[in-house]
Structure formats: structure tokens, C-alpha cells
Amino acid sequence: MSDELQTLTQRALEEVSTSGDLKALDRLRVHYLGRKGLVTERLKSLGALPPAERREAGRAANEAKQRLERAFASRKRELAESAASRRAAQERIDVGLPGRGGDCGALHPVTQTLRRIRRFFLRAGFEVAEGPEIEDDFHNFEALNIPPHHPARAMHDTFYLEDGRLLRTHTSPVQIRVMKQRPPPLRVIAPGRVYRCDSDMTHSPMFHQVEALAVDENVSFADLKCIVETFLRSFFDDQGLTVRFRPSYFPFTEPSAEVDIQDGRGGWLEVMGCGMVHPNVLHAVGCDASRWSGYALGLGIERMAMLRYGVRDLRLLFENDLRFLKQFGR
Amino acid sequence: MKFCSSWIEEWLKTPVEPQALAETLTMAGLEVDKLSPAAAPSSGVVVGHVRHVAAHPNAERLKLCEVDAGGAKPVTVVCGADNVHEDAFVPFAPVGAWVNGLEIGEAEIRGVVSRGMLCSAAELGLEETSAGLLELDEPVAAGTDFTEYMKLDDTVFELDLTPNRADCFSVLGIARELAVIRGFQLEPPRQDAVAAAHARRFPVQVAEPRACPRYLARIAENVDSAARTPLWMKERLRRSGVRAVHPVVDVMNYVMLELGQPLHAFDLDKLEERIEVRYARSGESIEIIGGGRLEPDQRTLLIADARGPVALAGIIGGGGSAVSESTRNVLIECAFFSPQAVVGRARSYGLHTEASLRFERGVDRSLQRHALERACELLEQITGGEFGEVEEVAAPEPEPRSIGLRHDALVHRLGVEVDRSSASRILTHLGCRMRPCKGGWRCTPPPHRFDLEIEEDLIEEVGRIYGYDKITGGVSTVAVQAGEPLETARERNDRWSDRLVERGYFEVITYSFVEPEILAEFDRTPPLALTNAVSPATSVMRTSLWPGLLKTLQHNLNRQQERVRIFEAGRCFAGRDERLMLAGLVHGGVRPEQWGEASRACDFYDLKGDVESLFAGSPTPVYERSTHRGLHPGQAADVVLDGKRIGCLGALSPPVAQRLGVSREVFLFELDLGALPPPGVARFEAISPYPSVRRDISIAVPPGVGAERIAACIRGLGLGLLRDIVFFDVYEDEKMEEGRKSMALGLIFQDVSSTLSDEVCAKLVDKVVAALSQSLKINLRN
């Protein structure tokens, strides 16, 4: 390579490496490699050389040109990157300010509790059944072994409609409807609203229950205990939960029990009632009590929700105060 | 039912620890509601003997008493009670004693130093109020510890008895149950029958032997109505929640509490000729004890004399024949009324008595003679008197019923191997007669366990006494069954709720009964009304969820909540129809207040977007102008799916808002979830590899034509290449013809097999423009 070309290349490389911005770099590129650039002119002038030298000179000139082009490209990348970095350094925002459009509502705690209970029973092989909230005397009382004037009726303060129908006082009538509809074996739960004309801190004229019913051959009280204990331990996420069954009385089950769980301080909290389906109930739906037996359990969803979320006053659940509901977003 | 542990101890001849007793009873199915001390805490109170009473020198109503409290010298005490007298034995709290939480100190009262206090029952916390000092019945050594003397260190139990355990409505019943469970010996108090002093009987006629299978009556002459009920009896009555009223009545109540058999005492001199047990006749009336006259209906069993009704059988006596201070001669009634004859009657007259409570649930029908003897014995001790012969009218005894019990049924039902001898032992302890037979027993329950009727009753008893806690090892495995479909309407409904939650809505649960006036703003069909509503504001069954949502809005607006987005899913009621509805309400900003964005109030289209989001992926409804009475006439749409109206949405009608007193920017929607088709399955469609082409047109739309019709008109052309229509601008300006508005829409075309050429697209646009012009009089703007 001629000394001249070498000097020119050397100078160009130096200028490229010190050029301060993309505009200056582009000017340099035009100056050296542009159509009338110094290096370009050099290449054009090769034609004037004698053929013997032309080959060698051409190779050298091309090499120099490629070297320069690489230098330009790499310097351009460098400058672009540092320009981006500088720009980025100036684009600081306050990341602590609240975001946009992230607000979410919440399901009512009773619904969340209901779904939790339902999930358990669906996994345990139960189906969900529904029945009307406006019931007749037969399904709400009579078929459940509560004839007129039975003392148990006094425990159900019933709302009546003008046409003689009533608002169901429990979800147990769904048992009757399901058993009348299809033969055993069956496993169903019936969640829903129930009504009693009673209103104070621990009573609401409307609340929710879930009823579970299993009828099969050879269903025993021990099986009932098993599902109840498993359910309560998974509902409260506590495998060590102490559960106790206390003899009690419901007209539609026999034997009957109230179920208590132990709280942290050793006291007992009543959480549900249950028992073996009374043969009179099986008779009422035309089910052969000598072949089939079953268990039924019923629990108040509000009560379970209050225990789970630490709500003390039942009335809060039906005030629908947003400051209350907002605490249950998930 | 209330009772005290000292009474139980007397029957079991063993001390019982109250907490342990409560636990035992609760676990036996006799739920203990409450334990409370029999008296307010006091200490140092002793029996004081009043030796001398003198007038207070400086106060007319006060007295100076010299009280022997067991010390070396009597103490001087100032006392204001009217009934204080010389030689009275009364509770005395000396200086330093604690009475009902107060320490007694020396006090100067009107210039005289009083060293202690003579106490009334109220001051000792035994009664709510009392008229004077609590005077003891008998001389007691002065200085005797009062708490010990009165057995005040006692616990009152309140039992919540289930309807099947009528046998436990007495001290006898509770003690009997405890004897079985804890293996105690049951030792009833010694009882001596009172021999007849004369042969007089009062005639009894039972016209209704089914309602009253047994009626016993006995005359007691020359009773002393002025006698004082002994303090121990008064105390037991008090601790059982019964007020002492008259010595004769107190004895009747005492025996009822002790044995569970209600008794009634008539003033014999006020009865005419005979007792009749019969149903009421029309036109009869009776004045009951405690005042009030009522006319019993013909289903009410009466006790009557020759003149008319003297008592409602098994419920309450008549005022005219009741014992009083002047009563000399008494007729004691001790009867068995069948539960069917009594149940529900007391309630129908608004009455609730200890007697009706017991008779309704059932009384041991073998108990009457025993109870009558017990009452006479106590009466003789307290009021004296000469007793006649017992008059008894009784229907033949029913055969004792025997129930078959199979051992394998017992084991199957309980799910635990209770062996034959244990099962038999448990039932024998409960008083059943057990006759073994093949595979089990014939079991005859004792008369007080009339609740035992079928095999399951016996299985329950065995399980209860064996212990529910010992029944373990059950299984919850389920034979594989199809169960319910994997995708149900319920799951779709849940997803819709979740979607609303994601869009910032809070779920609420409101009462199913609402105020009729508010409901009428939305629905004029007469709703189902409750006959016994708690209040007028909750008296009719809702036909719409909106009244509940609006009430919730009010509640929250009154509590500084500016932005309200709520929904409810619940049933509405019309006739025999129950429909599951989903409704929502929005008010306030479309977003919560944000630092970088101007706030904007919600409008119709925000709400509509929420509704549209629910239908994403399912059949899309059309929205037609609605005339719903509760909605704004210009801003309301019916949601129509497959030609069926399934709901509506819009702004709350301004006049309605005015009447309900709510701020007017409220938007509501309501959908009938039951009317929706079952959730379908998404079907995959091939995605075109070729680019889509968009052509925008600007059109002038005549009044009355809306987006829905424009889109329908374009879709109606059936252009296979049309993928989508986008409305991207809507405005009105004065340059346009009267009432017309301008709309801009983008038509998006795409083919699955080629890239669309400009010519093809232009032809498609021409078709659209021609159709719009022809059927909707819409012309293209330049």
C-alpha cells in the first residue's frame, strides 16, 4: 500500500474514533467514503496505474475502505447506544405513583364461602341441586317429619304468603324434591337462601344454608362423621381441628347431632346440625328404608363466613357497605 | 328449663362439679345454654338475731336495732326496713363483709353510728326487688354463715331442651339421665302418702277420654292460705325461674319442677257441683289468671264446672276459681292431657306457660298419682289441711309398646361394632325392658320415654350413650358416578360474577323482600306479599333486583362512597315463577380518581360495555330501544337474544330518581339468567394468512336510525369477505341537514385464500353504500 493511502486511512480512523455525534460521523463518512470522498477518489484513480501494480494497489485500497466502513459502523453503534443511554437517563418517572385501571371489585364473603363449601363437596362426588325459595308446607315441614303442631315448628319462625305458601325456613326441602325426582344412590348439596322472621344481632330474616344429602346402601353414622370432619378440617385449613358431635334432635334425622369445633381458647363453637335420614322422611318420598340409608347435614353459610373472616356482627353481611365489601377482594 | 345443681345433688346423693355436669349433659344431648351463680357474690354475711328495735332519735323512718351476730356483744345497726321486728332472724352484713360487690363499712346515719347492714333479698342479689328484710323461717344460731345456711354456693343451669326430650323437664328427669350416663345411684326423696282424713270427693266427668286419659282430683280442706312458703322452697323456685306467689300454688309449681307433672289448685268453694273435662262450646268465655278474657275455640280442651269454664286444660287456670289469700278449701287437679289435645293451643292465645310447655311435649302418663301424693305431702307440711279421698277418672291403660331392635341394623346404622351386651346394657339402664330374640331384642321403653317409638329411636339412644366420639372409621369414598355435567349454567353464572368483579363491581346480597312502593317504580304487576312481614320496608317479594341495589347505593352514598359499582345475582319472584336474575348498578367515576387522567363520570356506554363483556364468547344479543318504566326514555335498551327479551339496561329515569331521592347519574342493568341458552362450546375458525383490508366511510344518518340498524343492514348483505364493522366516530354539526348525524365506520374485509385487491374492496364498499342508501336513506358524506 502506498504511504499516502496508509496515512489517509490512519487519519480517517483517528477522526472516526474521536467523532462526538452521529451528525459529525456522517460528515466524516461523506468526506472519506462518499461518492467524491477521498478514499473513493483513490479507488477511482487505480485505473491509471499500470496493470502490474493495479492488482496489488486495488487489494490494498479495498481493504482500507472495508476497514473504514467497519470503523464507521462500529462507531455509529457506539454513538447511538450512548445517545439512547443519555436519553434514558433523562426519562425518569416516579415509579411509586399508583398505576391505572387496576381496580377490582370483590365477591360477597357469603358467596366466597358458599363456593368454598361447594368446591369441597363437588370434589367429594356430590352434585348441586336447587329448589324453590317459596315452598309449600308439605316440602318444608310435613315430608320432613314435622307434622302440624309439631313442637319443632316453633323453632322455625316462618314467613307466610297470602296464598298459603311460605318462604322456606331451611334448605332441607330440597332433599325431598331430589329424592322424589330420582332413586338412590345419590349425593347432592343444596345451597341457597332461607328465611325466618327473626331479626337481631345474631339473627337475620334471610340467610343462607347448605344442605348435603347422601343416600346409598349401608350409609352409616360413622360415614357421616367422616365427611363432616374432613369437610371442617379442609374448610378451616386445619388438619388438627378438634370436632365434636353432640347428640341433638331434628325431626328429619335420627340419630341426630350438632357439630361443634374447638376454638383457640378451648371453647366450643356450634357449626352445623346433621344426622341419619329419618325413616319417615324416606317413606314420605317412597324410598325403601329397609334397603337405603342416608345422612344429611345442614350448615349456615353466614356462620361459616363469620368464623373464617372474623366478622362478629351478622348484620354487617347484609348492609353491603363498600368499606366492608372491599376487604374481601382476592 | 332451669334448675340448680344443689337440687340435683340431693337426688343423686353425690356432689357434682357444675362444669363437669354441664359437659356431661351437653354431650348427652341436653344442651346447657348457660351456667350462672345462684346468688351475687357475697362474703361474711351471717345470720343476725334482732334483739331489740327502737326508734331512731333523728329520723322518723329509721330504726335502731340491737343485733346479735354471734359476737360477744350485740351491735347497733340503723335499719330502714318496715318489716324489721324484735326476735327476727335476718341476714346481717357486719363491718368488713362484702355484699353484692360492695364492702360494708361503719357509717354514721343521722348522727348514729351503724355497724353493719341488715339485708333484703334484693340487696343480696337474690331478687330484683324486695319489700323488706329477708326474714328466715326458723331460729338459727346467730353468727351462722348465711351463704352456707342458704346453700347459696349453688349453680343455676339453663337447658335448651330439644322437643323429643320432654322427660327431662324436671329434676327427676335430669337426675335419671345423669344416673344412666355417669353411673350414679338415683335416690328420690322419701315420700309419705297423706292418709285421707275424710271421704269427701269432688265429682269429675271426663267427656273426652282420648284428650284426657287420666284425671285425678283431691280435696284439701282448711288449708292455711296465710302460711309462709318455706325459704328453702322459695329459693328452689327462684333458682328454677319461678316466682313464689301463694303457698298452695308454690307447692304445685314445686312438684312440677321436681317431677315434671303440672298440677293445678282450684279454690274449692268457687267450683260449682262438678268438674267436666270437655271441648269448649261456642260462645263460652273465660277470664284467665293474671287478667284477660278470652273465648276459647271449639278445639280447646276445657276444665269446666256446672256453670262454665274454669281452666284451659293443661295451659292455665281461670281467675274466678284461682286460690287467693282467702282460700280455705282447695281442689287439687293432677291430670294427663295428651299432647295432641294441647299442642299449639297456648300459642294460639298468645300464652306460654310452664304447664303448656310440658303437656305439649308430653308428660309421663304413669306419674299422676305419685305427683298428687307428693303435692299433698308438701301441702300438709306447709299449709296443713284435711285431705279427702282421691277421685280418679282414667281410660284403660294402653298396652306397653314393644319395639324390635336388630343388632345388625344397629351396627350398620351407627357404623361401629357395638356388641350385643353393651347395647342391651345401655337400653336396660335407660329403663327399657329387653327381651332377647333372634338377631336382636324386643324392647319395651319405660313410660317416661314415650319418644322411643321405632328402631331408629333405640339406635340413637345406644349411639348417644355409647358416645358419638367413639364412633369412628367411616368412609367417604364414592363409587364413580358421572355426577353433574362438567359445564353447567351455574358455572357460567359464576364466571359472569367473576367478570363483573374484574371490572370493578362489588357483589352485594340484599333481602328478597322489598318495599312495595319502591318496587312499583319498576314493576306494576302486584308482587307476592308476606302476611307476617318484619316491617313494611320488607313486605313484598321482589320482582326485580333494582330496589335492593338502589337501597344499597343510598346506604353507601350516605357514607361518603362517591363511586359505587355493585351487582347482585339472586332470585326474583312472580306468581309461581322464580327466576335467577343478575343486576348491576353504577354511579360516579368510570375509574377511581387517578393522578394522570382526567376523571369522567360513567355513562350509558360504560355500562353497556360491562354488559357486552358478559356476552363475550357467547351468542351476542341485540340492543333495542326500551320503554322500561324505571329507565330514562332516551337512554334505555332492551337486551334481546334470539328474539327474546332477556333484560334491559339504561339510566335511572329522572322522575323516579327524584321520587326515590337518589342522585340522578345512576345506570342499571338487569338480566334474566334463566332465560339464557345453556353455555355452548367455542368453535375454532381457521385464521387467514392474508392481510385484512380496512375501508372507512363517512355517512350522514337520518334521525331515528341507530348503529344497530346500520350494522344489521350491512350484515344483511351477507358479504362473505366482511370480517368486522367498527364505529369509530359519531358527531352532529350545524352544517348538516336537520336531525341528521354523521357517523364514521370502518369496514374490515379479509379473504382466507388470497390478498384482496383494491378493485374487489371498492366493489364491496359500493355495495354497502348502495344498501345503506336504499334501505336506510343514508348517504355518503364527501
Helix (H) or strand (E) holding B553: helix B546-557
> What is the residue whose three cell numbers read 348483505?
B717
Chain CA centroid to CA A295, Å: 32
pLDDT at B33: 92
Question: Are the CB atoms for B47 and B146 separated by under 8 Å?
Answer: yes
Q: Does B502 touch chain A (CB under 8 A)?
A: yes
What pLDDT, in 10s, does the model give residues A309-319?
Answer: 999 999 999 99
Quote the Cα angle for A70-A75-A79, to 5°: 155
Q: How far apart are CA B452 and CA B394, in angstroms?
A: 23
Other CB atoms within 10 Å distance of the CB of residue A183: 12
Question: For residue A126, what is the nearest residue in chain B, using CA coordinates?
Answer: B483
Residues 313-342 of B with CB under 8 A from A: 340
Q: Is the pLDDT of residue B480 over 60?
A: no
- How much of chain A exceeds pLDDT 70, in percent? 98
pLDDT at B479: 57
Question: Are the CB atoms for A235 and A115 separated by under 8 Å?
Answer: no
Q: How far apart are CA B12 and CA B707, in angstroms?
A: 88
pLDDT at B530: 95
Question: Are the CB atoms for B407 and B439 separated by under 8 Å?
Answer: yes
What pLDDT, in 10s, does the model give residues B451-461?
Answer: 999 999 999 99
Question: Are the CB atoms for B25 and B41 separated by under 8 Å?
Answer: no
A269-283, B265-279, B670-684: range with lowest mean pLDDT: B670-684
Residues 144-163 of A with CB under 8 A from B: 148-152, 154-155, 159-163
Q: How far apart are CA B233 and CA B248, in angstroms?
A: 12
In angstroms, the separation between the Cα of residue A313 and the nearest Cα of chain B is 16
- In B63-111, DSSP assigns E strands to 63-68, 75-79, 89-93, 98-99, 102-103, 107-109
B438: DSSP letter? T
In angstroms, the separation between the Cα of residue A190 and the nearest Cα of chain B is 13
Q: Is the pLDDT of residue A152 over 90?
A: no
Buried/exposed B153-171: b ≥16 CB within 10 Å, e otherwise:
ebbbbebebbbbbbbbbbb
Reported confidence tier of residue A39, pLDDT bands at 50, 70, 90: confident
Q: Is the pLDDT of residue B676 over 60?
A: yes
The residue among B180, B468, B540 with the most chain A CBs within 10 A of its CB, best to mutate, is B468
What pLDDT, in 10s, does the model give residues A180-210?
Answer: 998 999 999 999 999 998 777 778 999 999 9
Overall residue count recorded for chain A in this entry: 330
Q: Is the pLDDT of residue A43 over 90?
A: no
- Own/partner contacts of A309-315, CB < 8 Å, gap of 24 or more, are A309/A109, A311/A109, A313/A201, A314/A201, A314/A202, A314/A203, A314/A204, A314/A207, A315/A201, A315/A204
Quote the Cα angle for B531-B514-A117, to 5°: 100
- How much of chain B exceeds pLDDT 70, in percent? 99
C-alpha cell at B321: 276459681
The residue among A221, A224, A262, A278 with the most chain B CBs within 10 A of its CB, best to mutate, is A221
Q: Do A223 and B340 touch (CB under 8 A)?
A: no
- Give the count of Cβ contacts less than 8 A between chain A and B: 228
> What is the residue whose three cell numbers read 350494522?
B711
Reported confidence tier of residue A266, pLDDT bands at 50, 70, 90: confident
Q: Is the pLDDT of residue B111 over 90?
A: no
Q: How far apart are CA B340 and CA B338, in angstroms?
A: 5
- Selecting from A107, A220, A323 the residue whose C-beta is nearest the C-beta of B501 gives A107
- Own/partner contacts of B623-630, CB < 8 Å, gap of 24 or more, are B623/B649, B623/B708, B624/B708, B625/B706, B626/B650, B628/B522, B629/B521, B629/B522, B629/B523, B629/B524, B629/B653, B629/B656, B630/B521, B630/B522, B630/B544, B630/B546, B630/B656, B630/B668
Q: Is the pLDDT of residue B262 over 90?
A: yes
Q: Is the pLDDT of residue B477 over 60?
A: no
Region of residue B83 (phi > 0: left; psi between -120 and 50: alpha; otherwise: beta): alpha
Other CB atoms within 10 Å distance of the CB of residue B575: 12
Q: Do A220 and B414 touch (CB under 8 A)?
A: yes
Q: How far apart are CA B80 and CA B271, in angstroms?
A: 44
Q: Do A193 and B596 touch (CB under 8 A)?
A: no
Mean pLDDT of B37-41: 86
Q: Do A249 and B475 touch (CB under 8 A)?
A: no
In angstroms, the separation between the Cα of residue B554 and the nearest Cα of chain A is 10
Cα–Cα distance list, B66 to B51, B114, B150, B336 (Å): 5, 10, 23, 54
pLDDT at B476: 62
Question: Are the CB atoms for B361 and B314 separated by under 8 Å?
Answer: no
> Three-state DSSP class for B57?
coil
What pLDDT, in 10s, does the model give residues B196-243?
Answer: 999 999 999 999 999 999 999 999 999 999 999 999 999 999 999 999
Mean pLDDT of B716-724: 90
The residue among B471, B581, B591 with the most chain A CBs within 10 A of its CB, best to mutate, is B471
Residues 193-212 of B with CB under 8 A from A: none
Q: Is the pLDDT of residue B478 over 60?
A: no
In angstroms, the separation between the Cα of residue B419 and the nearest Cα of chain A is 16
Region of residue B709 (phi > 0: left; psi between -120 and 50: alpha; otherwise: beta): alpha
C-alpha cell at B689: 394468512
The residue among B358, B360, B363, B460 with the most chain A CBs within 10 A of its CB, best to mutate, is B460
- How much of chain A exceeds pLDDT 90, in percent? 60
In angstroms, the separation between the Cα of residue B745 and the nearest Cα of chain A is 28
Q: Higher confidence at residue A47 or residue B587?
A: B587
Q: How far apart are CA B710 and CA B713, in angstroms?
A: 5
Q: How far apart are CA B267 and CA B320, in angstroms?
A: 9
Determine phi and psi for B286, rounding to 5 degrees.
-145, 140
Q: How far apart are CA B347 and CA B154, in angstroms?
A: 34
Q: Is the pLDDT of residue B546 over 90?
A: yes
Residues of chain A positioned with their CB less than 8 A from the CB of B530: 159-161, 167
Reported confidence tier of residue B265, pLDDT bands at 50, 70, 90: very high
What pLDDT, in 10s, does the model give residues B636-658?
Answer: 999 999 999 999 999 999 999 99
What pLDDT, in 10s, does the model give residues A289-316?
Answer: 989 999 999 999 999 999 999 999 999 9
Please state, rounded to an integer, the average pLDDT across all residues of chain A.
Answer: 90
- Selecting from B26, B456, B509 the residue whose C-beta is nearest the C-beta of A320 gives B509
- How much of chain B exceeds pLDDT 90, in percent? 71
Q: Do B497 and A133 touch (CB under 8 A)?
A: no
Q: Does B770 touch chain A (CB under 8 A)?
A: no
Helix (H) or strand (E) holding B394: strand B386-394
Residues 399-458 of B with CB under 8 A from A: 412-416, 454, 456-457
Q: Do B412 and A293 touch (CB under 8 A)?
A: yes
Q: Does B613 touch chain A (CB under 8 A)?
A: no
Q: Is the pLDDT of residue A1 over 60?
A: no
Pairing of strands B204-206, B275-279: parallel
Cα–Cα distance list, B481 to A116, A297, A298, B248, B762 (Å): 22, 21, 23, 68, 60
Helix (H) or strand (E) holding A213: strand A206-217
Q: How far apart are CA B567 and CA A106, in angstroms?
A: 10
- Selecting from B343, B471, B564 the residue whose C-beta is nearest the C-beta of A222 gives B471
In angstroms, the separation between the Cα of residue B215 and the nearest Cα of chain A is 24
- Own/partner contacts of A2-10, CB < 8 Å, gap of 24 or more, are A2/A57, A2/A60, A5/A42, A5/A60, A5/A61, A5/A64, A6/A64, A8/A32, A8/A38, A8/A39, A8/A42, A8/A64, A9/A39, A9/A64, A9/A67, A9/A68
> Three-state DSSP class for A49?
coil
Reported confidence tier of residue B137, pLDDT bands at 50, 70, 90: confident
B399: DSSP letter? P
Question: Are the CB atoms for B368 and B246 separated by under 8 Å?
Answer: no
Q: Is the pLDDT of residue B288 over 80?
A: yes
Determine phi and psi for B759, rounding to 5 degrees.
-65, -45
